Chains A and B, each alone.
Chain A
């Protein structure tokens, strides 16, 4: 009996030891992996931040070293006052384009998503047309031609409507999927109470779409704010500067002013950073929509 007991105790201790060994191994692996991730993803950030504090010659060494002398305010002041404050103007332009586009996107996509979700036959017919907008990049010259014919090329209304069109598909699909979770009985009850379709949508359905509306706001605003390609094609001109294009002020054939370039990189990364801090979950939810169900 005592032998049996000893056996059990022995077994338990070896199990405990292997567990300890395994957890030690795991701890080493974890430390290594965390370090690797920190280096792989952290160093570029550290590099940008530290170099934005250096003076011109020091930053041109492109090193990770501590600054010889801190030039925090001087660098940022220079970036903000360059070319009569082109960076500030770009911030205003980008904000205007982003906000106006989002208002239009919410308005047109929520209405379209509502009807498409409730009328499946129509949705099926239009499915491929909407998917096209997700896959195919806009054509450059024909789009410019259309904008010119409408007198909207290089104008705010032009770029705003264009951004709305290019973000329509994604937002519309999000709204369509979300409306499907709102019971139809609600519509019927509203109809019984004498609601028209406009009242039904704006008074009853639209307020219920709040979660998906906030996802659309956060995701689209990051995308439009970060948009470089469409601004370059369809909103050219010195006075039409947008934030992404300001980076080109600090690079050139005569060399790059790295300290100012990185200061500008940091400045224009502030709005996405703020959104990220406050709406982390919303952003991830929006980007992973459809990943689980397919």
Chain B
């Protein structure tokens, strides 16, 4: 079987994919480790050791990226999980207009991030924006959503949740739909209420869906660039700069070595956060 397997499923089939994937993704990624330790102008390089990394950790305008990226990733993940789960449970219940609601919740996920970013920048305009106008109707003076250094990052995160919650919702719906109905019937016979059915059946049994949402949202959040770029450009100051936007700024100003060091840090950051969580979630699933 083994030799016939080799003949039937030859290695040649992997070559086109390997060529494209290695040349345009793996090779540059590996090279980044070397060039992150250089002073680099594309034509010429000079080895400078860990100086780029040291600079990344010393300069406040660069260091802030780690904190902001963490806040951003976990805020958007939390928002998408909670809101997505709530919407999914609601959309799996016996309501009318289910399909229409599902569509309208999901559609933003297919839109261009830049278009969503510009639209929400207009909605969050400090004086003319609809959000603040609506707040002033009930007597609240709305904040300067994108102009206030304290909340700019969170405003972008809210927009991200709005755009991405649809994917979380459909994943949760798929998970909930896969739960066999007899669990709910058994609970009903035993006199359980809606809250119990959520905490004892829906939540534990849609675990794989929960894991998928957490991992996808976290990875998406850690590598976000375009939404921040469209809405604040990292500002005001550096208050909403994420690692990815810092890397782009360093590249655009011609600091190629520094930008590459940032890429390597982003790479390690994603790896060290997403990977252990991935393992942890998968282990818990086995325990169940």
The answer on A and B forming one complex is yes
Instruction: List A residues at the B interface (Cβ < 8 Å).
Output: 30, 33-34, 37-38, 40-44, 47-48, 60-64, 104, 107-109, 111-112, 114-116, 118-119, 129, 132-148, 150, 161-162, 164-166, 168-169, 172, 187, 191, 197, 200-201, 222, 226, 228-229, 232-233, 243-244, 247, 251, 256, 258, 261-262, 265, 268-269, 272-273, 275-276, 280, 283-284, 287-288, 290-294
Cβ–Cβ contact A138 & B119, under 8 A: no
The size bracket of the interface on B is 35 or more
Cβ–Cβ contact A37 & B104, under 8 A: yes
Cβ–Cβ contact B174 & A288, under 8 A: yes
Cβ–Cβ contact B16 & A287, under 8 A: no
Q: Is B143 an interface residue (CB 8 A)?
A: no
B residues near A293, Cβ cutoff 8 Å? 208
Produce 1/0 per residue, B216-233, CB < 8 A to A: 000100010110000000
What are 26 A-B pairs at a CB distance below 8 A? Answer: A44-B116, A48-B119, A60-B128, A108-B17, A118-B9, A135-B274, A136-B223, A136-B267, A137-B263, A137-B266, A137-B267, A138-B29, A140-B248, A140-B259, A141-B40, A162-B24, A166-B24, A228-B112, A244-B114, A247-B114, A261-B118, A265-B112, A269-B112, A288-B174, A288-B209, A292-B208
B residues near A269, Cβ cutoff 8 Å? 111-112, 115
Given A265-B119, A272-B111, A273-B107, 9 more contacts at CB 8 Å? A41-B105, A41-B108, A112-B16, A142-B32, A165-B25, A200-B8, A228-B114, A244-B113, A290-B208
Cβ–Cβ contact A164 & B20, under 8 A: yes
- Tally of A-B Cβ pairs under 8 angstroms: 254
In the assembled complex, the CB of B270 is this many whole angstroms from the nearest CB of chain A, namely 6
Cβ–Cβ contact B125 & A161, under 8 A: no
B residues near A292, Cβ cutoff 8 Å? 174-175, 178, 208-209
Cβ–Cβ contact B111 & A133, under 8 A: no
Q: Please, which residue of chain A has its CB at the minimum distance from the CB of B264?
A: A139
Q: Is B72 an interface residue (CB 8 A)?
A: no
Which of B73-81, B95-103, B144-152, B181-189 is the contact stretch? B95-103
Q: Please, which residue of chain A has its CB at the minimum distance from the CB of B208?
A: A294
Cβ–Cβ contact B8 & A30, under 8 A: no
Q: Is B120 an interface residue (CB 8 A)?
A: yes
Cβ–Cβ contact B170 & A146, under 8 A: no
In the assembled complex, the CB of A169 is this many whole angstroms from the nearest CB of chain B, namely 8
9 A-B pairs with the lowest CB-CB distances in the bound complex, closest first: A294-B208, A165-B24, A142-B28, A288-B174, A112-B17, A108-B17, A139-B263, A111-B13, A139-B32
Q: Is the interface of B mostly helix, strand, loop or mixed?
A: helix
Cβ–Cβ contact A229 & B175, under 8 A: no
Cβ–Cβ contact B274 & A115, under 8 A: no
Assembly CA distance A284 to B166 (angstroms): 10
Cβ–Cβ contact A276 & B110, under 8 A: yes
A residues near B90, Cβ cutoff 8 Å? 33
Contact status of A108 and B20, CB under 8 A, knowing A229-B225, A233-B248? yes
In the assembled complex, the CB of A153 is this many whole angstroms from the nearest CB of chain B, namely 10
Contact status of A191 and B119, CB under 8 A, knowing A143-B28, A229-B226? no
Cβ–Cβ contact A34 & B111, under 8 A: no
A residues near B125, Cβ cutoff 8 Å? 62
Produce 1/0 per residue, B112-144, CB < 8 A to A: 111110111011010011100100000000000
Q: Please, which residue of chain B has its CB at the minimum distance from the CB of A137?
A: B223
Q: Is B196 an interface residue (CB 8 A)?
A: no
Assembly CA distance A132 to B178 (angstroms): 29
In the assembled complex, the CB of B30 is this many whole angstroms from the nearest CB of chain A, namely 8
